[in-house]
């Protein structure tokens, strides 16, 4: 299942036996992730993209919903393939 | 199974407290951030305004400026605290006369309330009555006036933060250094490694989790600094020390703009989480293997 390459401090990975914390498979992200990590990354990207859109793109016309759609597509990609 | 249930039962009080005092206030602030709400205005009601507050934040030049000075403040304060804290921790690992007294005195700033720290530094840096401007004038001919010089005010806030919080870093690093096993150090010495090599290749990697935990704590604290700076400089001169915490305070309390203040708070929380996560990813997150 998991493909670990480095040993890390056990104190930082005390909850590895929980389903959410177990890395499931290598994806395109450079770090080991579980589904919760990938949802977190997706939310971080969604907020960053929204703020960027508000500041630079929306004044030119395109609606924030386009940004949301892009963020949703990215989220699906990251959660499934990340 | 039984031990798992017992574990959850023992955790339950903490989880309930965390939920009501952590999660619920966060959700409330998030909810308020999507509203126009000034409870002291002619219309004190909350009106939902979608993401208007967030649109306003990204065009708020004063907020952007405060983010810039906060980033500089956090960088210089945390790096200085780590370096000074590590040096002090190494010093406390050795025996010297008066070590116990010095360690007690060194820890005293930690138990002081930030508002008191701000008051003390205000008294110490006020021209004509403060000891610091007096000594700087007598020794170097430099007239320190944090009410007029933006650079001086900025530097003094960093020194104040370092003075206040370095003991925390020292104590954490002492705990980490004490727990290190002696074997790798003895082996390195036998192999002829010098002090610098031992530091970079043994000490630093072994105390990295403790350093990272300390950086997380200090980063989060430094990003929300309000009372010390508000007491010392009031965010001035101009906006030289108007860090995000001070900016939020001035937006929420004197102007009672709760919706907008909440939106700024949420963005600052977001930036704090992202900064900590990036640190975690860059320093200790396990990497995936690339095969083929």
A51 interfaces chain B, CB cutoff of 8 Å: yes
Collapsed DSSP state (helix, strand, coil) of residue B36? strand
A23 occurs within a structural domain: no
Residue A17 maps to a domain: no
| Chain B contact present for A34, CB below 8 A | no
Give the burial string for B68-95 (b: 16+ CB within 10 Å, else e).
Answer: ebbeebbebbbebbbebbbebbeebeee
pLDDT above 70 (res B25): yes
* pLDDT value of position B43: 81
Nearest beta carbon to residue A44 from set B54, B58, B274? B274
pLDDT of residue A18: 54
- Least reliable range by pLDDT among B41-45, B51-55, B64-68: B41-45
* Among A8, A31, A54, beta carbon nearest to B281: A31
Alpha-carbon distance B194 to nearest alpha carbon in chain A (angstroms):
26
> A55, B274: Cβ pair inside 8 Å?
no
Number of structural domains in chain A: 1
- Average pLDDT of the residues of chain B: 90
Rounded to an integer, what distance in angstroms lies between the CA atom of residue B65 and that of residue B243?
9
Which structure tokens are listed for B151? 């650079």
ipTM of the complex: 0.79
CA distance A15 to chain B (A): 13
- What value does the CA radius of gyration of chain A take, rounded to a whole number of Å? 16
Indicate whether A3 pLDDT > 50.
no
Range of the domain at B80: 61-283
Give contacts of A12 with chain B, Cβ < 8 Å: 209, 284
Residue pLDDT, tens place only, B129-156 = 999 999 999 999 898 898 889 999 999 9
A46: domain range?
A: 35-81
CA of A2: which chain B residue's CA is closest? B288
Asked whether residue A16 is assigned to any structural domain, the reply reads no
Given a cut of 50, whether residue A8 has pLDDT beyond it is no
Which CATH number belongs to the domain containing residue B92 in this structure? Answer: 1.10.3720.10
CA–CA gap between residue B33 and residue B51 (Å, rounded) = 8
Q: With beta carbons under 8 A apart, name residues in chain B contacting A30.
A: 287-288
**B289 vs A26, A40, A64: nearest CB:** A26
Is A4 a domain residue? Answer: no
- Over residues B152-187, the pLDDT tens digits come to 999 999 999 999 999 999 999 999 999 999 899 999
Angle at A48 between CA A44 and CA A51, to 5 degrees: 140
Q: In this complex, do B51 and A47 lie within 8 Å of one another by their Cβ atoms?
A: no
The distance of A71 to chain B (nearest Cα, Å) reads: 16
Q: What pTM did the predictor assign?
A: 0.82
pLDDT in tens, B189-222: 899 889 899 999 999 999 988 998 999 999 999 9
Interface touch B54/A26, C-beta < 8 Å? no
* Average pLDDT for B247-275: 90
Residue B224 has what pLDDT? 87
The answer as to whether A11 is a domain residue is: no
Residue A57 lies in a domain: yes
Smallest Cβ–Cβ distance between A8 and the set B54, B281, B284 belongs to B284
CB contact, 8 Å: A73 with chain B?
Answer: no
A15 part of contact set with chain B, CB < 8 Å: no
The reply to whether A14 falls in a domain is: no
The percent of residues above 90 in pLDDT, for chain B, comes to 63
Cβ of B277 within 8 Å of Cβ of A40? The answer is yes
Q: Is A41 a member of any domain? A: yes
Tell me which residue in B58, B286, B288 faces A54 most closely, judged by beta carbons: B58
How many domains are contained in chain B?
A: 1
Q: What's chain B look like in SS3?
A: CHHHHHHHHHHHHHHHHHHHHHHHHHHHHHHHCCEECCCCCCCCCCEECCCHHHHHHHCCHHHHHHHHHHHHHHHHHHHHHHHHHHHHHHHHCCCCCCHHHHHHHHHHHHHCCHHHHHHHHHHHHCCCCCHHHHHHHHHHCCCCCCCCCHHHHHHHHHHHHHHHHHHHHHHHHHHHHHCCCCHHHHHHHHCCCCHHHHHHHHHHHHHHHHHHHHHHHHHHHHHCCCHHHHHHCCCCCCCCCCCHHHHHHHHHCCCCCHHHHHHHHHHHHHHHHHHHHHHHHHHCCCECCCCC
**What's the pLDDT score for residue A23?**
58
Residues of A in contact with B288 (CB under 8 A): 3, 5, 26-27, 29-32
Best of B285, B289, B290, B291 to disrupt the A interface by mutation (most A CBs within 10 Å)?
A: B285
């Amino acid at each position: 299942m998991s493909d670990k390459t480095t040993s890390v401090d056990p104190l930082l990975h005390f909850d590895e036996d929980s389903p959410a914390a177990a890395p499931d498979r290598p994806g395109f992200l450079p770090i080991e992730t579980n589904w919760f990590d990938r949802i977190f990354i997706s939310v971080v990207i969604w907020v960053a993209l929204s703020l960027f859109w508000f500041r630079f793109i929306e004044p030119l016309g395109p609606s924030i919903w386009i940004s949301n759609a892009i963020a949703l597509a990215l989220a699906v990609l990251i959660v499934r393939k990340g | 199974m039984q031990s798992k249930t017992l574990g959850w039962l023992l955790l339950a009080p903490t989880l309930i407290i965390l939920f009501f005092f952590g999660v619920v206030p966060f959700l409330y602030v998030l909810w308020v951030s999507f509203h126009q709400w000034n409870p002291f205005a002619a219309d004190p009601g909350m009106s939902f305004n979608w993401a208007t507050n967030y649109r306003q934040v990204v065009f708020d030049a004063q907020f952007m400026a405060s983010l810039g000075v906060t980033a500089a403040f956090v960088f210089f304060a945390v790096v200085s605290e780590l370096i000074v804290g590590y040096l002090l921790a190494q010093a406390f690992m050795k025996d010297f006369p008066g070590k116990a007294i010095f360690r007690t005195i060194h820890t005293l700033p930690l138990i002081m309330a930030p508002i008191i720290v701000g008051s003390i530094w205000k008294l110490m840096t006020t021209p004509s009555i403060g000891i610091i401007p007096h000594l700087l004038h007598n020794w170097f001919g430099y007239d320190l006036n944090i009410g007029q010089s933006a650079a001086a005010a900025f530097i003094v806030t960093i020194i104040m933060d370092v003075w206040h919080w370095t003991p925390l870093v020292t104590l954490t690093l002492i705990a980490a250094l004490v727990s290190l096993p002696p074997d790798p150090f003895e082996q390195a010495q036998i192999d002829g490694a010098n002090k610098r090599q031992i530091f970079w290749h043994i000490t630093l990697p072994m105390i990295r989790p403790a350093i990272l935990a300390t950086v997380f704590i200090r980063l989060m604290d430094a990003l929300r600094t309000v009372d010390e700076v508000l007491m010392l400089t009031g965010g001035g001169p101009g906006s030289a020390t108007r860090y995000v915490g001070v900016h939020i305070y001035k937006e929420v309390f004197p102007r009672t703009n709760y919706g907008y203040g909440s939106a700024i708070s949420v963005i600052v929380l977001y930036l704090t989480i992202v900064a900590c996560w990036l640190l975690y990813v860059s320093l200790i997150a396990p990497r995936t293997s690339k095969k083929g």
